[in-house]
A and B are shown apart, each in its own frame.
Chain A
């Protein structure tokens, strides 16, 4: 623990630093009093704290030696004069060319970076580079070879430029003023065009590869990056695998391993322009987001165009980019649809280190606040509410916020996109067609306002998926994927699509991808857990839901789902705890219903009936809950009459549903079983036959058929359907624990089903 003296020092220092100079002096007078030693130390520290930033404690210099001795001669021709520095590939020396005279920069390639194929590629690239002569391109002379200490050393000679790199310049002076900046940027654009004309891509444009020699700008090291790419290797890692390499200046398509194109270089140029004019690295999402870093509108537009996520939307050449600048005065060219946040998002995604989905994290605030409008704050707030979409109030609040935003600022694409997403979260289990239609319209508006935004396409895809239009859903997801393959929502949408199509391996890959991109999204874990559960992989389902629970510990939904898994595992105590926990956080009819079912399966009929009674009060329209209550009452001898009344009530409640969805096989089968209990033999048989005709292989239908025939005292029929249900995957354990089927289980013929099921499982243990 620290001493009081130290704490005092720290507190005075911190406070004094916040004050203006005059105030600080009088503050120190009073705070330090007679303690002159303390006063001296604070003052010295304040001096240290405000002195020139560049010399501050930032880095530990460590000793690294360069490989070649000064004075040595390479290839009988180049005498090393001095060591200049260290770059991505290796070291740079100043050398004297004894054959032709004059000075050259000699660049070595670090040992082990190139295999023989790499060397060949390197030579080819250098040969290409030699064809380019342009004032703003550093001339490349030759590739050489020398054996040093028994090892072959490859080196490159090039024009020696006396000056500093752009990165050093920026470190030294911060931003570059607009006038000088424009002069330099124009040279950069022309240099890129000169390279591109010869079919050379730079691929690694960054401040360290730009030299400033007085007013002349020169770009270096173009095309060489490719020489370091092995066939099929991760291009961007090997080429930046060098000491200072960061993927911070690369275009999104390069980061995902695609071929670099001219447009990729234009992207890097956009980032460089931003950094030159603002003095801030564009690779941290927040710098772009700060209002302070605003540029004049034409520059802002240029940077945004250059850094468009979709390569097709960037200027085609440096010349075209410059042309944008020259139209500065032309009215109506203001790119209203661009917004700083998109570039910030694009870059956040592009750095590749962050699987940022800009709205999902609290950090997103920094991205969205840039334009200074409260609309962005509001959108962010709504988005945060939607993270806990299982709270109906949250969805309601989010909707009203977003509707306000859209009303206020109808041209904000993100507003419409967010509203669409919120609308999808509205309502209960049943998709509401009019809501879906509204959501669809909002998506289209968002797309119209910002054709580059991937999110509304994902939402559209989900809408189409909900309405059963898989082809349309597929096409929307594909569009979104093209725009932004790192958006986890896209992969989640695809997972749902694949499931609907029964493409299981693809489904699993897609959900895995979504989770990789957004490892802390509880909803994806929850979804995957349900998938496992439905496949009978209960252990996997439990592990997955535990992760979801860690990510979102206060969710009644997740506890409920955990309970369902335990129920399926027949761990009734655990299930009961989970449902109770869920209910403590927030009572919900469905969870209480599950709790009631758990009591029921544990033969705690009184508790079951009491709980289900509450459920029926909370959700008086649910036929299912009413029937469950009836089933519980039916087990309590003195409540048999109540039970029958409730079954009849349940049939009544189900009637309008049956009329509306006459082909819902589960509904048909359920209602059939209620008719059977109350003795409506004909209705029971007609409904269950219809359900069977619709879905002969459904385990749920088979299970209800067992109940129907058992209630109607048709033991043969019940046994037949019990065997069918088990064959189709209905858990035998559930049949064995259903109190309604006690008579059936007592029948010796039931054991046959059990033993044949056991044989099947033993023969094929993995098929679970």
Chain B
């Protein structure tokens, strides 16, 4: 696993050049870091409060990437990878929590292994994930745009850069994707 800033920035560059191994290494690194951050927030759990997933991703970015040498493009690509990882983490954990509830409150994983940044409402999270998967099956581009914006917090501009499409297209796809999801999920979900 890469440890230094240099490595992450290097991985991002290789990833942008289409290096799959670099992508995997990047996913690993982001995953580990997101978990560490979440665990830190979680270390003394009491009460309830929520935080935006994208804020966690942002924190991972600040932690992992040397901003002095990072390029705007690097940021966008990092967030693109992180969006995918974040989605995975949230959905996995939501499933675990639901499973845990049904199983009589037993957590599947020991506490320190669990991702603290679990979705506030696991049922909703899974519904979003399922709907997004269906959406992506219908239209890959819309699916990607929503994933990047929703889980990665990428701006329209950054999304356009990562997907190599005009900004106008991102805006259009985003409007459509969002409206479709909300309709699909029922506005009560308030996503």
Contacts and interface: CB of A to CB of B under 8 A. Distances in A.
A697 interface: no
Given A9-B180, A60-B90, A61-B51, 11 more contacts: A17-B175, A57-B182, A60-B150, A62-B56, A63-B120, A66-B46, A148-B44, A241-B62, A243-B51, A246-B58, A354-B71
A134 interface: no
Contact of B157 (A6, A62, A284): A284
Contacts of A524: none
Contact of A55 (B42, B86, B190): B190
A620 to B, nearest CB: 45
B51 A56 contact: no
Interface in B44-76: 44-56, 58-59, 62-63, 67-72, 75
7 contacts: A60-B119, A60-B151, A62-B90, A63-B119, A66-B46, A243-B56, A353-B67
Interface string A243-283: 11111000000000000000000000000000000000000
A57 B178 contact: yes
Interface string B107-130: 000000000111110000100100
A65 B72 CA distance: 32
A79 to B, nearest CB: 15
Given A59-B153, A353-B67, A353-B71, A149 B52 contact: no
Given A10-B176, A45-B180, A60-B119, A65 B46 contact: yes
Interface in A91-126: 111-112
A31 to B, nearest CB: 15
Nearest to A91: B49
Interface of B: 38, 40-56, 58-59, 62-63, 67-72, 75, 86, 90, 116-120, 125, 128, 137-139, 142, 149-151, 153, 155, 157, 172, 175-176, 178-183, 187, 190-191
- From A7, A10, A245, name the one whose CB has the most chain B CB atoms within 10 angstroms: A10
Given A48-B182, A57-B181, A62 B119 contact: yes
A58 B59 CA distance: 18
Given A49-B179, A57-B178, A57-B182, A66 B47 contact: yes
A411 interface: no
Contacts of A554: none
B67 A66 contact: no
A10 B139 contact: yes
Contact of A64 (B50, B54, B90, B172): B50
B49 A66 contact: yes
Interface of A: 2-3, 6-7, 9-10, 13-14, 17, 41, 44-46, 48-49, 55-70, 83, 86, 111-112, 148-149, 234, 237, 240-247, 284, 286, 351-356, 516, 519
B53 A61 contact: yes
Contacts of B183: 41, 44-45, 48
Contact of A63 (B43, B49, B172): B49
Contact of A60 (B52, B139, B142, B181): B52
**What 5 pairs across the A-B complex have the smallest Cβ distances?**
A354-B72, A45-B179, A64-B51, A2-B138, A60-B53
B93 to A, nearest CB: 9
B179 A3 contact: no
A64 B41 contact: yes
Contacts of A62: 50-53, 56, 90, 117-120
- From A56, A61, A149, A247, name the one whose CB has the most chain B CB atoms within 10 angstroms: A61
A241 B63 contact: yes
- From A112, A242, A243, A351, name the one whose CB has the most chain B CB atoms within 10 angstroms: A243
B43 A243 contact: no
A48 B187 contact: yes
B117 A64 contact: yes
Contact of B67 (A56, A57, A237): A237
Contact of B176 (A13, A148, A244, A351): A13
A2 B45 contact: no
B80 to A, nearest CB: 15
Contacts of B118: 62-63
Given A2-B139, A57-B191, A49 B175 contact: yes
Contact of B47 (A49, A56, A65, A234): A65
A67 B187 contact: no
Nearest to B70: A353
Contacts of A64: 38, 41-42, 49-51, 116-117
B172 to A, nearest CB: 6
Contacts of B49: 63-66, 83, 86
B12 to A, nearest CB: 12
A697 B178 CA distance: 72
A353 B137 CA distance: 34
Contacts of A3: 138
B48 A284 contact: no
Nearest to B42: A65
B51 A57 contact: no
Contacts of A68: 44, 46
B47 A6 contact: no
A241 B64 CA distance: 11
Contacts of B138: 2-3, 6
B139 A49 contact: no
B48 A63 contact: yes
A358 to B, nearest CB: 13
Contacts of B40: 111-112
- From B69, B72, B172, name the one whose CB has the most chain A CB atoms within 10 angstroms: B72
A761 to B, nearest CB: 34
Contacts of A284: 155, 157
Nearest to A247: B67
Contacts of B46: 65-69
Contacts of A49: 175-176, 178-179
A381 to B, nearest CB: 19
Given A10-B176, A243-B55, A65 B41 contact: yes
Nearest to B189: A57
Given A55-B190, A61-B50, A243-B58, A111 B67 contact: no
Nearest to B134: A6
B72 A353 contact: yes
A355 B67 CA distance: 11
A199 B120 CA distance: 44
B139 A6 contact: yes
B55 A355 contact: no
